[in-house]
């Protein structure tokens, strides 16, 4: 069942507001990964505000769906989502990357409520998600495990070890979403280390596969709905995205992979991300 026009608009508005939160956080911190945070906002919004079963006031609820952010450098986006969902006060966002903060440079499950797994070293997340999916199946729990991967994850061999194992064990309760923004730290992915044909790779490994526009919330939501259907094999959504989405100065640029916006850029971002209409959604 697809989203109504109004539901799409509501999620779009959340995404818009979260983009501002992310830019503010990064600018305040003075460091962090802008491009890969902005590219996956719609993916996280659809997950946390539409598809995942979770309880922000009970972060360790045993029956919750889980998310493993394998591209841990996208932490600012996840933190903005978790704060908005109510896992911790929004004021914490201003303490990103500060000594003693609950918001580390990369996700730390021991410090941040709502983080299901620590990450930061690319390529390990899908394996951990497999472990959770296997465990849930062992306990006969009807929960789903999601893992958001980046281009870099596609270059790490361990991801393909995990892909092989997930198919071998028939993990129908596992959904991977690839934030395919095509730019990495040193430049365009195709120049650094080509990962295409991505769809064919996943299919060859025995996964159900769907390709979508990762910034179209209706598409993202439909795809997540599709992954949660009963299946004997794991599912992957290849979400075509734009690195730095929403920031004219950062879109598609490797130079903003691991760089925070300056003060002037923050001002510009506020203008670019301002609401297009008066209407403000709760």
The Cα-based distances of 192 to 98, 177, 183, 184 in angstroms read 32, 22, 9, 8
Tell me the per-residue interface mask from 99 to 118 with another protein, x by CB under 8 A, - otherwise: ---------xxx-----xxx
Binding range to another protein, per CB under 8 A, among 82-90, 163-171, 175-183, 187-195 = 163-171
The smaller minimum CB distance to another protein, of residues 76 and 125, is found at 125
Query: Which neighbouring-strand residues pair with 187?
Result: 184
Is 130 near another protein (CB under 8 A)?
A: yes
Sign of CA dihedral 150, 63, 162, 177: negative
Q: What is d(CA 72, CA 67) in angstroms, rounded to the nearest whole number?
A: 12
Is 121 near another protein (CB under 8 A)?
A: yes
Shortest CB 145 distance to another protein, Å: 8
Q: Which two tokens stand for residue 62?
A: 């045993």
Binding range to another protein, per CB under 8 A, among 83-91, 123-131, 175-183, 218-226 = 123-131
Q: Which two tokens stand for residue 209?
A: 């596969």
Asked if 137 and 177 touch (Cβ cutoff 8 Å), the reply is: no
Query: Which neighbouring-strand residues pair with 68?
Result: 147
The smaller minimum CB distance to another protein, of residues 128 and 273, is found at 128
Out of 7, 9, 161, 213, point to the residue binding another protein (CB under 8 A).
161
Query: Which spans of this chain sit near another protein (rule: CB under 8 A)?
Result: 62, 66, 68, 108-110, 116-121, 124, 127-136, 138, 157-158, 161-162, 164-165, 168-169
């Amino acid at each position: 069942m697809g989203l109504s026009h109004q539901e799409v608009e509501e999620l779009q508005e959340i995404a818009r507001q979260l983009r501002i939160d992310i830019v503010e956080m990064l600018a305040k911190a003075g460091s962090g990964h802008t491009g890969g945070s902005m590219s996956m906002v719609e993916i996280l919004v659809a997950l946390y505000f539409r598809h995942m079963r979770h309880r922000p006031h009970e972060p360790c609820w045993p029956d919750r769906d889980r998310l493993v952010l394998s591209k841990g450098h996208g932490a600012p986006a996840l933190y903005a989502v978790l704060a908005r969902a109510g896992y911790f006060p929004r004021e914490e966002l201003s303490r990103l990357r500060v000594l003693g903060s609950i918001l580390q440079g990369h996700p730390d499950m021991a410090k941040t409520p709502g983080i299901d797994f620590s990450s930061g070293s690319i390529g390990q997340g899908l394996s951990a998600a497999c472990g959770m999916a296997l465990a849930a199946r062992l306990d006969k729990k009807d929960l789903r495990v999601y893992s958001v991967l980046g281009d870099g994850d596609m270059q790490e061999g361990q991801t393909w070890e995990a892909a092989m194992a997930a198919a071998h064990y028939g993990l129908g309760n596992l959904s991977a979403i690839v934030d395919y923004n095509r730019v990495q730290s040193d430049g365009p992915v195709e120049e650094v280390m080509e990962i295409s044909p991505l769809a064919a790779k996943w299919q060859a490994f025995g996964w159900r596969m769907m390709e979508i526009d990762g910034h179209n919330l209706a598409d993202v939501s439909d795809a997540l709905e599709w992954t949660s259907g009963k299946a004997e094999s794991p599912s992957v959504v290849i979400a075509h995205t734009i690195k730095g989405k929403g920031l004219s100065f950062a879109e598609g640029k490797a130079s903003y992979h691991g760089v925070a916006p300056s003060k002037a850029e923050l001002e510009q971002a506020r203008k670019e991300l301002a609401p297009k209409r008066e209407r403000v959604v709760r």
